[in-house]
Amino acid sequence: MYEGALADLIEELGRLPGIGPKGAQRIAFHILSADTHDIDKLADALKRVKQLVRVCEICFNVSEEDRCRICRDPRRTDENICVVEESKDVIAVERTGEFRGRYHVLGGAINPLEGIGPDNLRIRELMTRLQAGETKELILATDPNTEGEATATYLALLVKPMGITVSRLASGLPVGGDLEYADEITLGRAFEGRRVLD
Amino acid sequence: MRRRLFRDDAVVLRVQKLGEADHIVSMIGRRHGRMRAVAKGVRKTTSKFGARLEPFGHIDLQLVEGRNLHIVSQVEGIDLYGRRIAEDYAAYTAASAISETAERLTPIEGEPSLRLFQLTLGALRVLADREHPPALILDSYMLRGMHDAGWAPILVACAICGLKGDHRAFSIPAGGCVCRDCRPAGSAHPSPSALELMRALAVGDWKRAKDSVVGVRKEASGLIAAHLQWHLERDLRSLSYVERS
């Protein structure tokens, strides 16, 4: 079909997640017809992201420095650590504006079927952080699925004997939705986690 | 061409991420054996049935038949064991190994396997109900699963000559216990208690099984796992994560 540089570009784009052969072809032709300056900016951004971005040495969130913006922020408390699976989850929690503590990015969830055990995650590093003794509460914000729940169970088993409060994010009804459309599992969890109105 | 709709009840064995918000669900159905289906949009918080398609759940579902992968169109939960299992880490690791074993014991998709379906469902139910230690449930499941597949280790006679009795040597290539005259070179010599435990687990004698000590359980589970993996001709990835303490 296509040959040379265009074929190479379509093949490389097709390797990206969520992009199929048609999508790769469409993006390749867009690049071909786009302004050279814009494409230089894109190529530069791709190169820079690989050269500059690494993980924070404390929380393992993505960062361009040894310590990420959140770990460097002196206004945030060391007493609360929120444990998430991926860096994307840090952004999701940050968007709430409700949390002023630090984070710890595990790098996934325990999933024996995929060959991911506790040793493949940054659990040892989390335990080292907790042993420093400044943490009072560990908030487990792993995904609300079976792997995320099992990871939270495992972490709670490890951390509770250290005298640190371990909490889990609540599951429940989405804001703005109708009760009648909630599935029975989510509604059941919302009932379990109901709160007394002051 | 209009695609066929069909319905079955199934146990969810595993889910894998697909694209932005979809899952590929691997399951074993009562009538259709092992199946894989795409569940669209289930990773979004607005999904109507994502919670019902979590691993280890017993579900009633309607599927649109596909050439390689079916498509999930409707799901109702029958018994969703996933959460209760995930609340016990040892149960979770055992359930993962049960799921992987079920997948490996059903190499051909769409081939009915009613006994394995019932066995898998029963094992997950007792795991969720904390009826027995998780590692014992897993070992019993593997022994009974192998029995259905025709590879059960022979434990009450010599696997080579058929001489009845509680023989002491165990040979995986020979197919189980072997008598003194037949035992091939390299046969294992497990403790009589370990073989006794394997006999108890094979028939579901939980009282005898639970009387065993940790060392004997580890010895028996090692033999069971080695026997299963020898017949499957591949390792089970999840077995190394099973909590056996």
Q: Is B48 on the interface with A (CB under 8 A)?
A: yes
Structure confidence at residue A111 (pLDDT)? 96
Contact B88, A153 (CB under 8 A): yes
| Residue B161 domain-assigned (yes or no) | yes
- Fold observed for domain A75-168: Dna Topoisomerase Vi A Subunit; Chain: A, domain 2 (3.40.1360)
Residues of chain B in contact with residue A115, where contact means CB-CB under 8 angstroms, are 237-238
**For the segment A13-34, what is each residue's pLDDT rounded down to a tens digit?**
999 988 888 999 999 999 999 9
| Residue B127 domain-assigned (yes or no) | no
Position A192 confidence tier, pLDDT thresholds 50, 70, 90: confident
Structure confidence at residue A193 (pLDDT)? 84
- Fold observed for domain A4-52: Helicase, Ruva Protein; domain 3 (1.10.8)
| Same domain for B137 and B78 | no
**For the segment A66-80, what is each residue's pLDDT rounded down to a tens digit?**
999 999 999 999 999
Q: Is A184 on the interface with B (CB under 8 A)?
A: yes
| Same domain for B232 and B143 | yes
Structure confidence at residue A71 (pLDDT)? 96
pLDDT average, residue stretch B191-219 = 94
The ipTM of this complex is 0.89
Portion of chain B with pLDDT greater than 70, in percent: 99
Structure confidence at residue A117 (pLDDT)? 95
**For the segment B8-55, what is each residue's pLDDT rounded down to a tens digit?**
999 999 999 988 889 999 999 999 999 999 999 988 877 878 889 999
Tell if the CB–CB gap between B83 and A149 is shorter than 8 Å.
yes
Q: B80-93 burial string, b = 16+ CB within 10 Å, else e? A: bbbbbbbbbbbbbb
Residues of chain B in contact with residue A157, where contact means CB-CB under 8 angstroms, are 89
- Residue A142 tokens read as 């792993």
Residue B24: give its domain's CATH number. Answer: 2.40.50.140
Q: Which residues make up the CATH 3.40.1360.10 domain(s) of chain A?
A: 75-168
Count of C-beta atoms within a 10 Å radius of residue B75: 23
- Residue A140 tokens read as 């487990």
Which of A62-66, A84-88, B19-23 shows the lowest mean pLDDT across its residues?
A: B19-23
B130 pLDDT exceeds 90?
A: yes
| Same domain for B67 and B153 | no
| Same domain for B136 and B79 | no
| Residue B16 domain-assigned (yes or no) | yes
| Same domain for B139 and B69 | no
**What's the pTM?**
0.90
Q: Which residues make up the CATH 1.10.8.420 domain(s) of chain A?
A: 4-52
Residue B181 belongs to what domain range?
132-241
- Count of domains in chain B? 2
Contact B89, A154 (CB under 8 A): yes
Structure confidence at residue B48 (pLDDT)? 77
Structure confidence at residue B2 (pLDDT)? 67
| Residue B118 domain-assigned (yes or no) | no
Q: How many Å apart are CA B119 and CA A92, to the nearest integer?
A: 41
Name which of B45, B46, B86 is nearest A150 (Cβ-Cβ). B86
Structure confidence at residue B159 (pLDDT)? 94
Where a domain ends, among B22, B51, B83?
B83
Tell if the CB–CB gap between B55 and A146 is shorter than 8 Å.
yes
Mean pLDDT for chain A overall: 93
Structure confidence at residue A101 (pLDDT)? 96
Residues of chain A in contact with residue B80, where contact means CB-CB under 8 angstroms, are 185
Question: Helix (H, G, I), strand (E, B), or coil: what is residue A50?
Answer: helix
Beta bridge partners of A139: A82, A167
B1 pLDDT exceeds 70?
A: no
Better-predicted residue by pLDDT, B97 or B21: B97
Shortest alpha-carbon distance between residue A156 and chain B (Å): 10
